[in-house]
Structure 1
Amino acid sequence: MAAPDLGDERWSQLLGRRVAHRVKQTAIRSGNILVKLSGSSALVDGYVEKALDRARVER
């Protein structure tokens, strides 16, 4: 499971045995900011870039 190509470091994994109950965890580090998201794969993939952008603006 590849993490999106964002930030300095990135990590992603799927948790769960059944397809319907899988949870995706993704963490992105950009400088001294760390954003970690957990949830359905589609939602995590859809919001990770927005979450990182928001964290950069609000620091």
Structure 2
Amino acid sequence: MNPLVPNAYELIVFYILPVLFVVALAVVILVVLRNRKSAPLEFLSEDENDSNEQQ
């Protein structure tokens, strides 16, 4: 058995999981940035109006 060839555990832990983690992180960042661009200040104004109406 060649020690330079990774086994299944090494493939999953050191190659597949880091790639999945980076892809998931990139998707989360893109979704957050798109939501921030579409509605930058609407949530703040709605929160202020709701708090004023409750008092």
Which protein is bigger by CA-based radius of gyration?
Answer: 2
By relative contact order (CA 8 Å, sep 6+), the higher-ranking structure is 1
TM-score scaled by length of structure 2: 0.29
TM-score scaled by length of structure 1: 0.28
Which structure has the highest strand share of the two? 1
Which structure has the highest helix share of the two? 2
